[in-house]
């Protein structure tokens, strides 16, 4: 068995139209652990847990991480990844506990703060979410996803100025992130800054042409500006993309909007 030790890093989570955000996952560079046979067994269990996590077998991953932690209770990464598995199953108490344990073992674990913040966000505890995102940024000032997530939390609290500032900082770090433009567009929309919102949705579409939510929201904004032809075209494109992606509920939402507008087939 290869004693390679792998860590699954969750790079960020953001809010989109559907109300639940997907985690963007990538592995960090491989680290080799020099260990005794007992420690090696913990590594093997950990790696098996990572494999299951990547396949969506969250219950199996939780079991393997738990066994690994029995052998090596000082493994911050195992707590971190088990926290993600718990979150994916809707066990937010378990997720927060595990992220907290990871932070205790590794106080500079920026991603653990970021993911704990997102769990607080999902529970609508926005002040705690902001505190965690802020800590993640203090540890890693280049953590653009923490800026995005903190911007989302500020937006939920009605602090549009703080939200826009965070989205701008995120774009300074990564100007090619379609979801940052999209989320900033939502904030502009809430402020009734419709032309700015359309500009942001358009930029997100240019960066990610299959971004159905961006077409949908741009279409609604065009409708508010009484640009009916443009609104209809965007909603029809959103419906097409949602259908291709197998997202039937979202597809039906768009079709209902088209019917109200008189642009349905």
Closest CA to 79 of 2, 5, 4, 8: 8
Q: Tens digits of per-residue pLDDT, 28-55?
A: 333 323 334 444 488 999 999 999 999 9
Distance, in Å, from the CA atom of 117 to the CA atom of 13, rounded to the nearest integer, reads: 10
Distance, in Å, from the CA atom of 106 to the CA atom of 78, rounded to the nearest integer, reads: 12
Mean of pLDDT values over 138-158: 96
pTM of the predicted model as reported, rounded to 2 decimal places: 0.81
* Tokens, residue 154: 């500020």
Q: Tens digits of per-residue pLDDT, 84-124?
A: 999 999 999 999 999 999 999 999 999 999 999 999 999 99
Segments of 175-235 assigned E as strands:
none
Q: Which residues lie below 8 Å from residue 56, measured CB to CB, with a gap of 6+?
A: none
Distances (CA, A) of 31 to 67, 71, 151, 164, 201: 21, 19, 33, 38, 40
């Amino acid at each position: 068995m290869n004693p390679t030790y792998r860590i699954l890093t969750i790079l960020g989570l953001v809010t989109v139209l559907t109300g639940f955000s997907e985690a963007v996952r990538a592995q960090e560079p491989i680290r080799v652990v020099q260990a005794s046979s007992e420690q090696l067994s913990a590594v093997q269990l950990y790696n098996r847990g990572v494999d299951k996590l990547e396949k969506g077998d969250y219950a199996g991953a939780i079991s393997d991480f738990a066994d690994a932690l029995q052998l090596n209770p000082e493994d911050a990464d195992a707590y971190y990844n088990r926290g993600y598995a718990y979150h994916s199953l809707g066990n937010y108490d378990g997720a927060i506990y595990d992220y907290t344990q990871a932070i205790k073992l590794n106080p500079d674990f920026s991603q653990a703060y970021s993911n704990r913040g997102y769990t607080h966000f999902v529970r609508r505890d926005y002040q705690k979410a902001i505190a965690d995102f802020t800590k993640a940024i203090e540890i890693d000032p280049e953590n653009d996803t923490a800026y995005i997530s903190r911007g989302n939390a500020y937006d939920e609290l009605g602090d549009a100025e703080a939200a826009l500032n965070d989205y701008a900082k995120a774009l300074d770090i990564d100007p090619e992130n379609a979801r940052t433009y999209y989320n900033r567009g939502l904030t502009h929309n809430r402020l009734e800054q419709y032309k700015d919102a359309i500009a942001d949705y358009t930029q997100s579409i240019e960066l990610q042409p299959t971004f159905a939510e961006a077409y949908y929201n741009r279409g609604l904004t065009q409708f508010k500006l009484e640009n009916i032809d443009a609104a209809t075209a965007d909603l029809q494109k959103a419906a097409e993309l949602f259908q291709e992606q197998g997202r039937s509920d979202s597809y039906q939402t768009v079709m209902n909007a088209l019917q109200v507008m008189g642009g349905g087939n």
